[in-house]
Structure 1
């Protein structure tokens, strides 16, 4: 591998800036400021190593917010002050631009300012049939496909979150607002409270103030303050209502972290930390009121052998594990286990004899042939492998089509869907002589919503015979349960994916639990990912981080010493070095960083990249036409795209060729700039070039699956902005996926007790 391609143009580092709407903890501390070389570029000299050996990085990691240690303290503080001054300068310039834009008088609504004045001007322009006058709309509009009428299937889950707010009765919102303001709580919570608690939300809050914890984003200390203001002297930490609400809140937080249940001791310990005097009573109260469910599961490991003959003569009680979980996830895991057992126990549809299946398997490459043979006689098959293994899944669908079976593939993202559709097309005969039932590709969300994929039969099941789910590690328990319930008896389900990538954003670890349970056949791909990037990622998958030969600069290491240098070099790579030296344009280069907050998080990098690649005033919620964005219509879904325009309907996006309109009230919550993403947002997607940024303050967040996922997003070129020194090889070798507590593995083994 090599260092960064030589650069001849100085790239401004941009302004990281702070974001008041941060939703993740800000990584602390920057390293020592760098001193640029004579050219002002600060070009890296010498070979860079992914493992950090020989790196020029000399910064210190921050873990508690302290800016460096020892003699580096003054320099680190200077770096922080410089960054803050730069952020203030940009903010002052933005304020001056807004003042200049508001000089012209407004005939009506003259007292409006800021966003309200901008929207009024846009509305008047639309009403008069003219183009809006806002600066954001002065640029020429993109390709015509962005302005084409939306297809009938457009109202997908994208707009679903708006339904509860629209359905809330004004009188119910007013009643809740009165309760909130009377206790000093923000009245902006009124609509969310009604959406969560229903029409009688006001009365429910008066009876139990801690019901406020059910609203997303509300923390226990805020609910405690609200309860004190509402109840006065009657409020206390031993209130049974408080213990129940905190129990439910902790289980919800556990679900956000990926758990479908919690060990009872862990839950009671967490309640103790929240000053609940009797945690066991709080848990029992939540169980009695039906807020949570209790389960007894046998531990995964067998009990230890008796130490002596006397011990062996006494009957040994089998230890059990007590788990507490929310009903929705408990039912989802049980439904999933039942659905998978049904598929495993039902006889696969017999379209084609054993000889026909064998003929198709024999004509396919080795790994693909094994997958075809296994799917011929089993209703559930697990298929593991990297990006190259998707060709084997395509071969299976090609064989199914030749045998008259209706086969479909479902990917996690639209990019994965389109890429797999291209693979299917490449396997079709060039003369167009293909016969059999048509195959196709869809997204998992589109398949379940009915916007993509096959129709449903009279029983409501998907009208197909073979379903290959790509990116299977991204399935959470609720999505997987809906898929299993949607398949008819006799259908074949193949769950295909790379077990080394990050798990799902939602609760559960479905693919990992199935692999561990060993209740169905597993086919491991023997098709390696090609090239230096494939070799590097394969090594990471087994815990080894070494150098690879990259004669075509497929892998480039850029050592940095502090946060400011990391931002500068990232912008330089995307805007100049990679397009010039590698031939990949900036719009096809993706930046990946560990978190949203901090001096080198997605917010700071997106600010700097927007300033360089698409500067503009951000007149609609901080966005301008041409901005790269990521749209998250639901938790765990990330749809990359571009801003087309903005009007009174909302923000118009183009997400992989699909027009999407995000209403104004949802923009701040569901749309972010997308030049820089986290690895969780990028999973399931690939780009021609990827720049992975590893600042020194992110060392503690690195794990082997994170590095594996981030590095594996690159197709042709990977640049690593490296500031974590030895933390990177240590994470690859020693830090596995964070564990999750689930019940699926035990449920699956109970469904198939004879499985090994």
Structure 2
């Protein structure tokens, strides 16, 4: 590993912005903001993102119907009674150290389920473009209420889209419903409520308590949680000035705004015969709760359905025998199981490629799906002749094999790469879309950052051990592979880099960090490494701050593609990051702009972003966050670690950022000992999920 001495030349002085916090929640907020504009605009035709969201809506309706069949909803009312009241009484007993009532525990015990429930299939349905935008009169009515309450009238379209055609009446009756609009905080909603209600808008208003409860759970989802422990939720409500947190949660449950769950802790055999198993009480939003439950059912169906091999058993074995090492193990595991997990780095992609080749040799309809177009192109090069799609394109019907008469994907084997990026909703859609008897392989690097959306599906499945897990024995080669492998186990090695594969560039302050980054991309890396600027990617911890993506992109544009930015700040040739939907980022380049919108080239695809969507869904992309870069790789990467990035660093963040480089990695280093400390000590932030608990009664864990 070599160290390049800093230079002192003219520093770039980008406009600063407030530093952003934890990468999980901030990246999710950015993705959500980028996707919000999609619901505001009436496009001329249905986009891939709209088709995907339509499929998700239909899936949620199906899940809700099945949920209603199993469990009657809690009746609305000012206070709780019956089961919900008993449950909350048990919560108080748990918090005081007493055991929960036996009747409550027994009632909350999951009912026996079929080992392989048959899903209700559904075809993707295109949503008319005009349905994506609220009616003009509804927007105007909401704008009037917002003006009366002193809120920004620019929120009118978003509020009308979220609250529906009666949004104005909803806000007058309950001003705190403004919290349902992305970006609005409780203190802002409080000011709006005071302007509309006067002295009647107090902190003890039960409408405020319910709305803040839902808002906190939405914020938790942005940070990756599918639910929150009730004590944690109550504490958060207290910090938001809700005087009676328990009463607020009761009201939210009774009104159907949130759901409450009681999950047993530990194994069934851990408790003595005369003791009850300890439990934890969780509160969550119906959207994520039902998706996680649907995912558990779909995974159980796959695990408990052993694929029929018939006469092909010997052919599977011959295919495995012709493969080498862990590729042979993967083929054998897939031959006899409906769900298989595969772990490994970039070099391990050869093993899913070998699996697909073997499956095609057996006459199976086999496809692979990646996180984005860049990953699709990389895997297509490794798996010659195999069908490769993106997960979003597969679900929306824009890519892939299409669907059969029952609405299931028309395939026998699906390999999902970049599996750590699957959130619970997307994963539920994937599993429920598979036909009976199909095989699913989830493959990815377990050390990278988890999904932007809620859940930790891949990590939960690895921990649950409900299916075969094949770990690749193919290490990524060279000094970069050695460096990244060490980070994965918590060690920041000093690697030998005779070809300048890894270069450390120390900096003293933010201005120097920006200057050195621009110099590396525009001059040093092309000259010394031979990688042009357009193939070098900058990665930094956040969007804001003096060395965030905004500041770096401004400086890089000025150096690499200066221009007036006549179309929403963009010019032809600008590198961009396009977010067609929450949690999805497509790196690309501006081709041109005209009356239709901004024309982009993203991973070989031509995309037109309508003028009204540009501001919220397109950013400059010379510099990205690690979350935006996941699933992609570039010949050269410059990772920027400014002094104010210390709190954002963790082992998964460093691993993800450093492993995006194929040939060369430069580290603009201003955090001193915070980097090795983060690699050694700061693991992934925990997420509260229910998938392991939901799987346990349906799928036994494998021995060993």
What band does the TM-score fall into relative to the shorter chain? Answer: 0.7 to 0.9
State the shift of 1:23 in Å. Answer: 9.0
Q: 1:475, 1:504 within 8 Å by CA — same for their partners in 2? A: yes
Q: 1:14, 1:607 within 8 Å by CA — same for their partners in 2? A: no
Evaluate the alpha carbon distance shift between residue 668 and residue 160 of structure 1 in structure 2; reply closer, same or farther with a 3 A threshold.
farther
Could you say which residue in structure 2 is the equivalent of 1:629? Answer: 576
Distance 2:367 2:377 in 1: 13
Kindly indicate whether residue 163 of structure 2 is the aligned counterpart of residue 197 of structure 1: yes
Could you say which residue in structure 2 is the equivalent of 1:45? Answer: none
Evaluate the alpha carbon distance shift between residue 159 and residue 647 of structure 1 in structure 2; reply closer, same or farther with a 3 A threshold.
farther
After superposition, where does 1:112-511 map in structure 2 within 5 Å?
155-157=48-50, 167-300=133-266, 315-350=274-309, 352-425=311-384, 439-511=386-458
Cα shift readout 1:584-608 (whole Å, capped 9, x = no counterpart): 0000000001111111111111111
Q: 2:4, 2:506 within 8 Å by CA — same for their partners in 1? A: no
Structure 2 gap segments, 5+ residues each: 24-43, 55-127
Evaluate the alpha carbon distance shift between residue 663 and residue 467 of structure 1 in structure 2; reply closer, same or farther with a 3 A threshold.
same
Evaluate the alpha carbon distance shift between residue 207 and residue 165 of structure 1 in structure 2; reply closer, same or farther with a 3 A threshold.
same
Q: 2:642, 2:671 within 8 Å by CA — same for their partners in 1? A: yes
Could you say which residue in structure 1 is the equivalent of 2:545? Answer: 598
Q: Name which one, 1 or 2, has greater alpha-carbon Rg.
A: 1
State the shift of 1:304 in Å. Answer: 8.1
SS at match of 2:225: coil
Q: TM-score scaled by structure 1?
A: 0.78
Q: 2:21, 2:647 within 8 Å by CA — same for their partners in 1? A: no
Evaluate the alpha carbon distance shift between residue 451 and residue 495 of structure 1 in structure 2; reply closer, same or farther with a 3 A threshold.
same
SS at match of 2:342: strand
Could you say which residue in structure 2 is the equivalent of 1:17? Answer: 15
SS at match of 2:572: coil
Q: 2:564, 2:571 within 8 Å by CA — same for their partners in 1? A: yes
Evaluate the alpha carbon distance shift between residue 591 and residue 301 of structure 1 in structure 2; reply closer, same or farther with a 3 A threshold.
farther
Distance 1:650 1:272 in 2: 46
Q: 2:12, 2:511 within 8 Å by CA — same for their partners in 1? A: no
Evaluate the alpha carbon distance shift between residue 14 and residue 284 of structure 1 in structure 2; reply closer, same or farther with a 3 A threshold.
same
Evaluate the alpha carbon distance shift between residue 580 and residue 341 of structure 1 in structure 2; reply closer, same or farther with a 3 A threshold.
same
Structure 1 gap segments, 5+ residues each: 28-150, 306-311, 429-438
Distance 2:352 2:22 in 1: 41
Distance 1:23 1:458 in 2: 51
Cα shift readout 1:481-526 (whole Å, capped 9, x = no counterpart): 0000000011010000000000000000000000011111111111
Given the alignment, which residue of 588, 605, 628 partners 1:681? 628
State the shift of 1:191 in Å. Answer: 1.5
Could you say which residue in structure 2 is the equivalent of 1:658? Answer: 605
State the shift of 1:561 in Å. Answer: 1.0
Kindly indicate whether residue 551 of structure 2 is the aligned counterpart of residue 551 of structure 1: no
The alignment of Structure 1 onto Structure 2 pairs a total of residues equal to 611
Distance 1:622 1:303 in 2: 62
Distance 1:449 1:12 in 2: 49
State the shift of 1:190 in Å. Answer: 1.6
Kindly indicate whether residue 608 of structure 2 is the aligned counterpart of residue 610 of structure 1: no
Q: TM-score scaled by structure 2?
A: 0.84
Evaluate the alpha carbon distance shift between residue 349 and residue 15 of structure 1 in structure 2; reply closer, same or farther with a 3 A threshold.
farther
SS at match of 1:404: coil
Q: CA RMSD in A?
A: 2.3
State the shift of 1:316 in Å. Answer: 2.2
